[in-house]
Amino acid sequence: MALFTWNDSYSVKVAMCDQQHKKLFEIINELANAMRMGQGQEVVAKSVGDLLTYTQTHFRQEEALMKKANYPQLAPHQEMHRKFVAEVEALHNQAKQGKAANSIQVLNLLRDWLVNHIMKVDKQYSEPLNAAGIC
């Protein structure tokens, strides 16, 4: 059973970004399902590794689209991305040292990013990118 299910309310109206955001749903749901099965700690290191790969790829591509569209909020958006990546890298480094993060902590971080960044901040670029022909 999925904790978060993709629907149009999550769409930022940019196909590539929506597709990549769906990957975040997969990471969240994989971790949540493992937690339900009592295997959260076993899966958390993998989830953090997947999240690090996701953020590095997705943020670079999303920022390139914003730059192409001359999105006026690019710099503050990049700063939010930078801070999130730093959090994920810290969790990843802990896992590499054998100090895996608490699965609840990681799930809360992901849920917060989904609700507060994608649903609020990312949606702000929909209209400017669409107006620049990026759909």
**Number of domains composing the chain:** 1
**Span 93-98, average pLDDT:** 81
Q: What is the pLDDT of residue 40?
A: 79
CATH of the domain at 39: 1.20.120.50
Q: How far is CA 7 from CA 12, 100, 122, in A?
A: 11, 31, 16
Angle 49-119-59 from CA coordinates, rounded to 5°: 40
CA gap 8, 6 in Å, rounded? 7
Q: What is the pTM of this model?
A: 0.91
Residue 58 lies in a domain: yes
**Which tokens belong to 18?**
């929506």
Judge whether 75 lies within some domain. yes
Structural domain contains residue 59: yes
4: in domain: no
- Structural domain contains residue 96: yes
Reported for 75-79, long-range contacts at CB under 8 A and 24+ positions apart, including other chains, are 77/121, 77/125
Average pLDDT, the chain: 92
Mean pLDDT check: name the lowest of 15-19, 42-46, 96-100, 124-128.
Answer: 96-100
Domain membership of residue 9 (yes or no) is no
**Is 79 within a domain?**
yes
Whether residue 5 lies inside any domain: the answer is: no
Give the range of the structural domain holding residue 89, as residue numbers without chain letter.
14-131
**pLDDT tens digits, one per residue of 35-91:** 889 887 888 888 999 999 999 999 999 999 999 999 999 999 999 999 999 999 998
Query: Given this model, what pLDDT does residue 66 score?
Result: 98
